[in-house]
Amino acid sequence: MVRWRVLADAVVVIHAAYVVFVVFGLAAILIGVVLEWEWVRGFCFRLWHLVAIALVCLEAILGVMCPLTTLEDSLRARAGQWSAPESAIGNSSAKNAGSSLIPQAG
């Protein structure tokens, strides 16, 4: 039971890191252009950032739940913990952003 909970928590950390990379990666690019940071113009950084954004967009277009959320829910179920039917981040941001205009999957 404990190992499943620890693995689920690890997935949350990885998921948060992914979100930070997407959001702050864009901020770093915008700021880095102004401050002439060379690393934000690097091909590998830009490619991985574009791929990360494209995956999120594809999930939204297809109306599928993030695989990391699905994995976390599965691990939490194995650990005997409660799992949300929707992602916690998506659920709270939808309420706060007024995204009732955006069609929801399901």
Q: Between 95 and 7, where is the model more confident?
A: 7
Model pLDDT, residue 79: 86
Q: Which residues, in sequence order, are CB contacts of 84 under 8 Å at separation 6+?
A: 73, 91
59-104, pLDDT tens digit by residue? 999 999 999 999 999 999 988 887 665 555 554 444 444 444 455 5
Query: For 42, which DSSP code?
Result: -
Nearest to 86 by CA among 102, 73, 103, 77: 73
- Rounded Cα–Cα distance for residues 76 and 84 (Å): 10
Percent of the residues in the chain that have a pLDDT greater than 70, as a whole number: 77
pLDDT at 34 over 60: yes
